[in-house]
Structure 1
Amino acid sequence: MNIGSTLTQAAAAHPDHIAIIHGDKTLSYRAFNERANRLASQFRALGIRPGDRVGILQRNGPELLETLFATFKAGAVAVPINARSHPKEYAYILENSGCSAVVFQEDFVAGLDTVRHALPDLCIFIAIGAASTWSTPYENLVASGDPADADVDCAPHDLAWLFYTSGTTGKPKGAMNCHANLQFMSDHYPREVYQLGPHDVVLHPGPLTHGSGLWSIPITAGAGTHLIPSGTSFDPDEIFRLIEKHRVTKIAFIAPTMITMLLNAPTIDRHDLSSLRFLGYGGAPMYVEDLKRAIQQWGPILCQVYGQGESPMTISLLKREDHKLPGDPAAERRLASAGRVREDIELAILDEADHEVPEGEIGEIAIRGEIVMRGYWNMPEATAEVFKGGWYHSGDLGMRDADGYVFLLDRKKEMIISGGANVYPRELEEVFLLHPGVLEVAVIGIPDRLWGESVMAVVRPRPGASPTEGELLTLCREHLAGYKKPRFIRYQDDLPKNSYGKILKRELKQSILAEIPKVAT
């Protein structure tokens, strides 16, 4: 098997169908496949062997998809790197993964030049655009490669993608995803998530080095058209224009933060978005109030996929039919959930002793099945820790109700223990967002000599709004037990986020404690 063969098969079935649109550039499935084959053959000519790691340091574009599938086809292991990373961050990933090659855009020449001498295993540099003296031009390689190169036959558990975690709690770890993991994900996509076909135009607003790149596999298997924005940053106006111009049917994968940005854009009602049939989101739970606004704006086209790099895009699913504005409280409550567990996966909610807890009680979400990674690259102790008892321990706290809906509360490491009582930040954040003047909020725990931790809410107001502390505390009293309300409320113009839109609570907490070291004493 070889997960790259999804492209080979799609090109055989739909050779003239448009595979990729990027600005004024279009590629058919025949051309997409031939360019990936040419690159794969050149990888071998350069000495890249099955199992070798290939770094992908690129912004969204056709070359990123070509490099990804060429790496699969050659039997090598793709190591996609977030394009917004600092040179020290991508140097760490290149060194940690032992990449022997990196395919990069000319934007990254200066950054790579500062770190390449500290990467002894990295000996092959392939540049898209202007090449330096120490790199090989990408287009030269593609032009001289073999368009009919055969896909390498791989074993199901051979590595295909090293997915580096976003590193919100420390150094990124490389989740080892094999061909069987990605095949499981791809096979289940049309059955459970979206039945995609050649008529579908799929927009990729998010980075192809993350969720959109994973979803590019089943999209390619279904011969959908990949529409890639040409901008280098997320621009709601560009998204709206592309949907209208190309009659986009599906948004592949988008972070909740991006949905909120679309909803807040003043131009949202100036474009015809009626072609949209599906909007997939994930990477973090979406707050209910924002979700209601999205449903009111677009109807029941949203679908939440809960997954991790360690179980690529596949744990539970809140389907489109669950995204309605219902009349009964029970159905509305499900909007706060991550849906039900996906097919062919076992899910358990475990206590500290790894015993399953009853329905409605909180514990750590654990799963097992063919979707789960093989472990962390070169980290046997971390691997053993997350696989104790035969389950993959997600690090997410949650509960499951009587109907099987899974509710995410927080990362286990972000739970606040104040005076011996557990406070789950998301629960409090949902309440704060009921206030019309709150745009974003992050709830964190800060050291307290008496209580162990005190609760602080960091609020980003909407432009022109000034939610008062009294108003916010009144909301807390109306919806939550008294011990959960924050002791401190802080206002900021922005909140730190990683490139996938997740609020960096650890960074936020560190900056606050550095500024006010005795805030809770």
Structure 2
Amino acid sequence: MNSFAFLEKSARQQGDGLALIHGDERISYRDFHKRALAVGGNLVALGCKPGDRVAFCLANSPRIMEVIFGCFAAGLVVVPVNARLHPREMAYIVENSGARILIHGGEYEEGIAANAALFAGVRRISPDAAGSAEPYSILLDEANALGAAVEAAPEDLCWLFYTSGTTGKPKGAMWNHRMVRTVIMNYLADLHNIQPGEMVLHCAPMSHGSGIVALPTVARGAVNAISDSASFDVDALLATVERLKVSHIAFMAPTQIVKLLEDYVPGRYDISSLSAICYGGAPIYVEQLKQAMATFGPVFVQLYGQGEAPITITGLSAAAHARLLAADDPRIGSAGQVRTDVEAHCVDQNDNPLPPGEAGEVVARGDVVMPGYWANPEASAEALRGGWLHTGDIGYFDEQGYLFLLDRAKDMVISGGNNVYPREVEEVIILHPKVANCVVFGIPDDYWGEAVHAVVVPKEGETITAKEIIDFCGEHMAGYKKPKAVDFVDALPVSGYGKILRREVRDQYWQGHSGRIGGGAAAQAGGR
């Protein structure tokens, strides 16, 4: 079935019930359904055909949900773009996906205009009617609205989720309607059983994890309440929880939980309605998790997954958190157990299954796993060899099936819940005229989990500062990818084959720390 059916059912059952809240904007399920059909119909009127890609780069708002379900209705493939990306990075995703249309906020107009050649041939639409973009209102013309969603097979693509590899070039994980249904049902079955009318708050980017949790919210006819704060503000968040009687915060990165603990003032707000906070995307220290549970109660729900198997490989429910904490069980530091209809285990370098307690690469299979990467058969074959998704994460399962993550097979850095790929940063730094060589990796950071760090070899006779390197990176990529600090050396260690020994350099910064996925000597919990 077409995933639009989830909205169709909720509109029929909830009618005038609230679907979307953002600031003063209130949209009922009936109107949400009508607007999504209009968006889908007008995209078709603009020349889109089933299977065509439509990209969006938007700050959190109801427009995101209208575009997603509008694309579902028309049989189109939605391509969310991280709103924090540099325009050049945005352009790469638009070009690689072959998106015919880009829907973006007015705040990106200046950057797009400065890189206009990269967006040539792409029709641009903006809710702010910014610059040369056409107004979003053209997508709401009821004269072109669809009467009903198009038919869709389970294998039909509906989403491209861009996630980078060690080469630094983003890859589009293909999602089909079967995957979306599996994500929805698994979330409701294993993590948090959202109920009709429940208030679900979004305070993280809806182009990623939070937006995925919005899907089961729609399926159950609950309310997607979208924070209107431009940045993560604890007072604004908790005031919203009190005002709307929020029961479920859709997704928080561990850094947001740390910030929540730092800024929380007991008794200032009534947050007794809160029953679930979903977290993931990066590790969290066990001590921080224990402190959070002591402060806010047994409300935390952990998920572990990746764009290739969204939010559904393993998980730890609120009840499991409470049980493990009460027993002082070290499994509170795990990434939970394999989800109901997912298979997962660890394998050695030859893909042989490993027994409990023995570390190897985490692999998974099931309907939640992508069929492959968009227009990248080589990467697809490598990631899905043997019929199993190879996650690139190193860990082990204990005797009861709890997954403990130890390291990454790849060199990705997770900083504040954002994936940063060292090669991508290195390729920018090496462009600097004063740089001879460099290596980038994550180092332990008490707040960010990992901080992006660069070690640079200047060209002979050149003098360069850390600020110059950091500012140079900021001219070419998203701010969160920039190094937080830079060290300078005369040479980098290399292997007999001339390859930089990244881990040898990195390990100097990890001495005295137990993990390689977040830093710190404390045991950790969390996932990607």
Among 394, 397, 400, which residue is 2:391 paired with? Answer: 394
What is the TM-score of this pair, normalised by structure 1? 0.80
Instruction: Report if the CA contact (8 A) 2:88-2:118 is conserved.
Output: no
Instruction: Report if the CA contact (8 A) 1:317-1:339 is conserved.
Output: yes
Give the letter aligned to residue 378 of structure 1.
A
Partner of 1:20, secondary structure, is strand
Relative distance call for 1:25 and 1:166 in structure 2 (3 A) is farther
Aligned position for 1:242: 240
CA RMSD in angstroms, aligned pairs only: 3.2
Measure the CA separation in 1 of the matches of 2:52 and 2:358: 44
Give the letter aligned to residue 174 of structure 1.
G
Aligned position for 1:377: 374
Instruction: Tell me, yes or no, if structure 1 residue 204 matches structure 2 residue 205.
Output: no
1:215-364 map, 5 Å: 215-267=213-265, 269-324=267-322, 331-364=328-361
1:113-124 map, 5 Å: 113-122=113-122, 124=123
What is the TM-score of this pair, normalised by structure 2? 0.79
Gaps (5+ residues) in structure 2?
A: 423-438, 449-469, 494-504, 509-528
Measure the CA separation in 2 of the matches of 1:226 and 1:456: 34
Aligned position for 2:52: 52
Instruction: Report if the CA contact (8 A) 1:292-1:325 is conserved.
Output: no
Relative distance call for 1:226 and 1:148 in structure 2 (3 A) is same
Instruction: Report if the CA contact (8 A) 2:40-2:146 is conserved.
Output: no
Instruction: Tell me, yes or no, if structure 1 residue 190 matches structure 2 residue 177.
Output: no
Aligned position for 2:2: 2
Deviations 1:317-356 (A, max 9, x none): 1111221275787x52111101110011111200001101
Deviations 1:82-116 (A, max 9, x none): 11111111011111111100111211222222334
Measure the CA separation in 2 of the matches of 1:131 and 1:341: 46
Aligned position for 2:177: 179
Partner of 1:305, secondary structure, is strand
Aligned position for 1:432: none
Aligned position for 2:131: 132
CA-CA distance at 1:460 after TM superposition: 5.1
Among 359, 364, 368, which residue is 1:367 paired with? Answer: 364
Aligned position for 2:501: none
Instruction: Report if the CA contact (8 A) 1:98-1:121 is conserved.
Output: no
Give the letter aligned to residue 304 of structure 1.
Q
Among 400, 405, 408, which residue is 1:403 paired with? Answer: 400
Measure the CA separation in 1 of the matches of 2:165 and 2:109: 24
Partner of 1:324, secondary structure, is helix
Partner of 1:398, secondary structure, is strand
Aligned position for 1:25: 25
Measure the CA separation in 1 of the matches of 2:115 and 2:321: 47
Measure the CA separation in 2 of the matches of 1:327 and 1:229: 31
CA-CA distance at 1:512 after TM superposition: 3.4
1:65-80 map, 5 Å: 65-80=65-80
1:487-502 map, 5 Å: none
Measure the CA separation in 2 of the matches of 1:213 and 1:261: 21
Relative distance call for 1:296 and 1:327 in structure 2 (3 A) is closer
Relative distance call for 1:518 and 1:268 in structure 2 (3 A) is farther
Give the letter aligned to residue 389 of structure 2.
Y
Instruction: Report if the CA contact (8 A) 1:95-1:121 is conserved.
Output: no
Measure the CA separation in 2 of the matches of 1:11 and 1:105: 27
Measure the CA separation in 2 of the matches of 1:456 and 1:40: 42
CA-CA distance at 1:408 after TM superposition: 1.1
Instruction: Report if the CA contact (8 A) 2:358-2:397 is conserved.
Output: yes
Relative distance call for 1:130 and 1:168 in structure 2 (3 A) is farther
Considering Cα pairs closer than 8 Å and 6+ residues apart, tell me whether 1 or 2 has the greater RCO: 2
Aligned position for 1:12: 12
Relative distance call for 1:328 and 1:20 in structure 2 (3 A) is closer
Gaps (5+ residues) in structure 1?
A: 416-424, 430-441, 445-452, 463-494
Give the letter aligned to residue 188 of structure 1.
N
Relative distance call for 1:153 and 1:260 in structure 2 (3 A) is same
Relative distance call for 1:148 and 1:78 in structure 2 (3 A) is closer
Aligned position for 2:91: 91
After TM superposition, the structure 1 stretch with the greater mean CA deviation from structure 2, 268-277 or 86-95, is 268-277
Identity of aligned residues (%): 40
